[in-house]
Structure 1
Amino acid sequence: MRRADASSSGLHLGLISGTSVDGIDAALVHFEDTQAAPTLVAAHTFAYTPELRKEILALSQAAVSVDLDRVARLDHRIGAAFAEAASTLLHDHAIAPEQVRAIGSHGQTLRHAPHGDFPFSWQIGDANLIAERTGITTIADFRRRDVAAGGQGAPLMPAFHQAMLAPCGEDTAVLNLGGIANLTLLPRAGEVSGFDTGPANGLMDAWMLEHCAQGFDADGRFASSGQPDEALLAALLAEPWFMLPPPKSTGRDLFHLAWLRRHIGARELAAADVQATLLELSARSIVQALRCTQAGTRRLFVCGGGVHNGALMRRLAQLLPDASVQSTAVLGIDPDFVEAMGFAWLARQTLEGLAGNLPAVTGACGPRVLGAIHPA
């Protein structure tokens, strides 16, 4: 009876913790049908405990030697945290688990390395545990099928952005400012495309944590108190990854504090000046990528945590004087939960037997149904 009720429900729950590792975004989404725009029913961000966040950050650095037991314990802990986030959201909004058709869980990325002889993308957060503790069918491990098909496994949101935003008759883009920035290009004519552009909040957050004991730079105030160092900025922008053509994706494997420190080298810079440089790095790399791929963009809709960094938003607007730079909030879409909504959508796609990737975005050899299904 419970499964019959759930199968007829348009409710799906999306869970994600991104490269910023600031917490679990949970979004309960209602889909009327495969054509109608989704409705956000309830959403909340559940912070990791400081100790769990520290452990995730420690193990997600590329240079770290990983102990298998330590990773297995972390997989369990993250799965339990995701399950608790889902259950708490439903409880707080008086929604029974039986009313939810499925959970789409992105998990927590430990490594993302889609290049080389043995490409992979690795997210942890035991989906078996989520299904068991919530009583809701859980779909997870969305990226690896795309990688197996020759793709990057990322970004996955352009397919959702395409479904979410109606064509508006002019070149439009969606910018997600998470730990990593990624663009979805929605041209007035032609196919949708998208790719990662490089750092958004990840490096700035890590620098703030190290030098100010704060998890993020509120409104970009610390960056605004400094001045970008042009020599350091030039060195950072010379990173060969920025020159790669799409499809491309990246993560903390490349853009981490050790990478930054190598470029700082013997330079003696104030912490605020480094933060200002990192903000400029994010803004310039994003704008450079947009100009190279869709120079005629007239509307840029921004989502993700970086939308709350006023200094970064203002800098993007300054560098794009011919485009309107606005939060997705102007569309009635909460910018903090677009990605979580996207994983609810991906869960529905999987259950419907529909592709969740766009080969033109990820580079996969074809559309693929993504994710592994863990029945309730």
Structure 2
Amino acid sequence: MAALPDGTPLYIGLMSGTSADGIDAALVAFLDDPADGPRCHLLAGHTHPWEPALRAELVALGEGGEAGSLDVLGDLDARVGIAFAEAAHTLLARHGVDAAQVRAIGSHGQTVRHRPLATPAFTWQMGDAHRVAEATGITTVADFRRRDIAAGGQGAPLMPAFHVAMLGSGAEDRAVLNLGGIGNLTLIPQAGEVRGFDTGPANALMDSWCQRHTGQPFDAGGAFAASGQVLPGLLAQWLQEPWFALPPPKSTGREQFHLDWALSAPGAAGASPADVQATLLALTVETIADALRAHQPATARVLVCGGGVRNPVLMAALAQRLPGIGVESSQAHGLDPDYMEAMGFAWLAAQTLASRPGNLPSVSGARGPRILGAIHPA
């Protein structure tokens, strides 16, 4: 672990995204850079595996399944909290860090339902933060999304404020693209209002389809997609989904974009599994390109983070679809793409403890800046 000035507070961010492919734990410090202001330094990272049966329950619930009873929901909330605490414990133990050195944990939890357009709107992230605080002995900040929802916002995406703080540039129109289970963009112009929104499915559908047909949890290296051909008719059918035409602010999740949605398109019937995988990848690329063209056509550079940055077929397709725009990993700017969101939730915890807002109303549509999250003292 890098040497730090004495007394530098440490933070942990805990995040499990739409794909529910593991709990990312990031140990970070925020240090002032004379030129750029506060910078986030990743000191250590760990991806903690989900217990398979628990993950299966969470994925089914996230896709719109019914839990069956309050007892089931309460049990899930407790077990997710325990799993998040274990992720933090493992991170600290592997790197020889005492919990007393950590000022706070920012815990996102696991989203199981996100309904920003319901009346009333709501979002739900499981993972009892009381258990995280009790098990670790570290103050835990959690439940970040619901205050923004209560203020009339979408509750998502929440990373744009962190992206602007760490990756903003006055020299060019820039975008930060998170390729998680769902794709989302942060649009950072040279001048003017920052915007951010979900673009649609990214890894979640590709992972689910890959699991069903190859038994593998994800398409390693994009090989499965590369073995197929894009089906233009099927792609066109998927792109007719009304959600894609909605203006920002907008957000979505697995409850909307799941395999039953994809397979309901007539063009999916009888198609080869490899061709469907290739077309799912093309859907991700097209929706991102369409969003950039519509909302920030002068974008000079796209900084990519999330699991999709490890898929060379997806990255090459994006670069081809965005000629004249630099497409590169956030690593080129000092932020590890695998732990970007976990780092972001550590940053949100620091914002909350400092009584500073964590949302951007121009992104979420909230009535104004809000201090996010609930604090669970050690």
With structure 1 as the length reference, what TM-score do the two structures score? Answer: 0.96
**CA spacing shift, 1:60–1:166, aligned 2, 3 Å:** closer
The 2-side partners of 1:310 and 1:64 are apart by 36
SS at match of 1:20: coil
| Partner in structure 1 of residue 56 of structure 2 | 54
Selected match of 1:334 from 333, 336, 358: 336
Q: Secondary structure at the match of 2:175?
A: strand
Say if 2:217 is the partner of 1:215. Answer: yes
C-alpha spacing 1:192/1:14, structure 2 compared with 1 (3 Å) = same
Matches within 5 A, 1:162-173: 162-173=164-175
Match of 1:232 in 2: 234
CA distance in 2 between counterparts of 1:169 and 1:57 reads: 41
Give the superposition deviation at 1:33. Answer: 5.1
SS class of match (2:338): helix
Report if aligned partners of 1:11, 1:28 keep a CA contact under 8 Å in 2.
Answer: yes
Name the structure 1 match of 2:147. 145
Instruction: Give matches, 1:1-376, under 5 Å.
Output: 9-32=8-31, 35-64=37-66, 66-264=68-266, 267-376=269-378
SS of residue paired to 1:133: helix
The CA distance in 2 between the partners of 1:351 and 1:118, in whole Å, is 29
Change beyond 3 A, Cα 1:78–1:324: same
Provide the secondary structure at the position in 1 that maps to 2:207: helix
- Structure 1: state its 5+ residue gaps: 1-7
Q: What secondary structure sits across from 1:346 in the alignment?
A: helix
- Report the TM-score, using the length of structure 2 for normalisation: 0.95
> Is contact 2:19-2:203 (8 Å) kept?
yes
The one-letter code matched in structure 2 to 1:24 is I
Distance in 2 (alpha carbons) for counterparts of 1:116 and 1:328: 34
Cα offsets for 1:314-351 (capped at 9, x unmatched): 00000001100000111121100000000000000000
The CA deviation at 1:9 is 4.2
Partner SS state of residue 198, structure 1: strand
Give the drift of 1:58: 1.6
Judged with a 3 Å threshold, the aligned counterparts in structure 2 of structure 1 residues 247 and 166 are, in CA distance, closer, same or farther, namely closer
Going from structure 1 to structure 2, the CA distance change for 1:368 and 1:167 (only over 3 Å counts) comes to same
Query: What secondary structure sits across from 2:134 in the alignment?
Result: helix
Structure 2: how far apart are the matches of 1:210 and 1:266?
15
Supply the distance in 2 between the matched residues of 1:257 and 1:171 (Cα, whole angstroms). 35
CA distance in 1, matches of 2:191, 2:266: 43
Report the more deviating stretch, 324-333 or 259-268.
Answer: 259-268
Alignment gaps of 5+ in structure 2: 1-6
Is the contact between residue 59 and residue 66 of structure 1 (CA under 8 Å) also seen in structure 2? no
Distance of aligned partners of 1:166 and 1:194 in 2 relative to their CA distance in 1, 3 Å threshold: closer
Report how far residue 185 of structure 1 moved.
Answer: 0.6
Q: Give 1:5's aligned residue.
A: none
Contact 2:268 2:276 in 1 (8 A): no
Checking the alignment, whether the CA contact within 8 Å between 1:9 and 1:101 is kept in structure 2 is: no
Give the aligned partner of residue 3 of structure 2.
none
Give the partner amino acid of 1:71. Answer: L
Whether contact under 8 Å (2:168, 2:174) holds in the other structure is no
8 Å contact kept, 2:262–2:268: no
- Rounded to whole Å, the distance in 2 between the matches of 1:10 and 1:96 is 12
Amino acid at match of 2:28: V
* Deviation (angstroms), 1:191: 1.7
For this pair of structures, how many residues does the alignment match?
Answer: 369
Amino acid at match of 1:155: P
Alpha-carbon displacement from aligned partner over 1:213-265 (angstroms, at most 9, x marks no partner): 11100111101100111111111000000000000000011001111121147
Contact 1:10 1:32 in 2 (8 A): no
Q: Following TM superposition, by how much is the alpha carbon of 1:67 offset from its aligned partner in structure 2, in angstroms?
A: 2.5
Instruction: Give, in whole Å, the separation in 2 of the partners of 1:315 and 1:33.
Output: 37
- % identical aligned pairs: 61
- Whole-angstrom CA distance in 1 between matches of 2:264 and 2:329: 34
Distance 1:265 1:198 in 2: 19
CA distance in 1, matches of 2:268, 2:20: 29
Deviation, structure 1 residue 20: 0.5
CA RMSD of aligned residues (A): 1.3
**C-alpha deviation, 1:116, in angstroms:** 2.5
Kindly state the Cα deviation for residue 92 of structure 1 after the two structures are TM-superposed: 1.0
